[in-house]
C-alpha cells in the first residue's frame, strides 16, 4: 500500500510504501476485543474495598431473644441488615489483570493498524517537529490536515515543543513509537504516523507476522 507523505503545512513530501504484513491484514474483531479488554483490565487499580461482616467492630451480643420476639432470629449487629453492619459479598482488593500471549498482542496491534489503513484513516507525516511550543500554531496545522480527533505516533521520542503544544488540544494524543497500542489507536478517528514511526512499527511487528 502506497501513501503520500505530508508535512505539517499539509504539503506533499514524497510517498511511502506500507508493509503488507503489518498494515495489510484482515482485521479480526475478536482479537481487537481481547486486546482492549486486556489493556483496560491492566489499568484498573483494584483498590476498591468495603467492610464485610468480619471487618466490622460491633457487639457480638445476641439481638433479642431466640423465640417470642415476633421477628427474625438475629445473632449480632455486624450483619448487613442493620445500620453500621458490613456489606455482604462486597468488593475486595485484587488484581484485575489477566494474561494474553505476546503473539496475540502483536497480532492485535497489526490488526489495529490494518483496520485504520483499510478504512483510509491513516496520515503519514514527514516529521512532527516544531520550532516553538505554540498551541495556536499546531491547531492551524491540524486544521490544514483536517484533523479533529487523532492520535499521532512519532519516532523513538516525541519532539518536546510538539508535545507541549499538543497538551491543551482536546481529542489529540501524542505517543512515541514504543507506546503505540491498540486501545489508543482505536479510540481516535485518525491515526497519524511519522515516517520514523512507520519504520519503527514495521521493524517491531514484521518479525513473525503470520496473521
User: Which range marks the domain in which residue 24 is found?
Assistant: 2-45+97-205
Number of domains in the chain: 2
Residue 120: partners with Cβ closer than 8 Å, 6 or more residues away:
none
Q: Are residues 115 and 149 in the same domain?
A: yes
* DSSP H/E element including 35: helix 29-43
Radius of gyration of the chain (CA): 27
Pair 150, 101 in one domain = yes
Tell me: the pLDDT tens digits for 74-107? 888 898 888 888 999 999 999 999 999 999 999 9
Q: Which of 166, 171, 97 is nearest to 137 (CA)?
A: 166
Asked if residue 82 and residue 58 are part of one domain, the reply reads yes
Q: Residue 161 is part of a domain; what is its CATH number?
A: 3.40.1370.10
Whether residues 75 and 178 fall in one domain: no
In a domain, 41, yes or no: yes
**pTM exceeds 0.75, yes or no:** yes
Would the pLDDT of 207 be above 80? no
| Position 211 in a domain | no
pLDDT band at 68 (very low <50, low <70, confident <90, very high): confident
Is residue 119 one of the residues assigned to a domain? yes
Cβ(5)–Cβ(126) below 8 Å? yes
Amino acid at each position: 500500500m502506497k501513501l503520500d507523505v505530508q508535512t505539517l503545512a499539509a504539503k506533499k513530501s514524497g510517498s511511502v510504501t506500507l508493509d503488507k504484513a503489518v498494515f495489510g491484514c484482515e482485521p479480526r474483531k475478536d482479537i481487537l476485543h481481547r486486546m482492549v479488554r486486556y489493556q483496560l483490565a491492566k489499568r484498573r487499580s483494584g483498590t476498591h474495598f468495603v467492610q464485610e461482616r468480619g471487618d466490622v467492630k460491633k457487639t457480638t451480643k445476641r439481638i433479642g431473644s431466640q423465640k417470642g420476639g415476633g421477628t427474625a432470629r438475629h445473632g449480632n449487629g455486624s450483619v448487613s441488615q442493620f445500620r453500621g453492619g458490613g456489606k455482604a459479598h462486597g468488593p475486595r482488593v485484587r488484581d484485575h489483570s489477566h494474561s494474553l500471549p505476546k503473539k496475540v498482542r502483536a497480532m492485535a496491534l497489526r490488526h489495529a493498524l490494518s483496520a485504520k489503513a483499510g478504512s483510509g484513516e491513516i496520515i503519514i507525516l514527514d516529521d512532527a517537529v516544531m520550532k516553538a511550543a505554540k498551541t495556536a500554531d499546531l491547531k492551524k496545522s491540524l486544521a490544514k490536515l483536517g484533523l479533529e480527533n487523532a492520535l499521532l505516533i512519532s519516532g523513538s521520542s516525541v519532539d518536546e515543543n510538539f508535545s507541549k503544544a499538543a497538551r491543551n488540544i482536546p481529542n489529540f494524543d501524542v505517543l512515541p513509537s514504543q507506546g503505540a497500542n491498540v486501545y489508543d489507536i482505536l479510540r481516535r478517528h485518525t491515526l497519524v504516523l511519522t515516517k520514523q514511526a512507520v519504520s519503527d512499527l514495521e521493524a517491531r511487528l514484521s518479525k513473525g507476522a503470520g496473521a
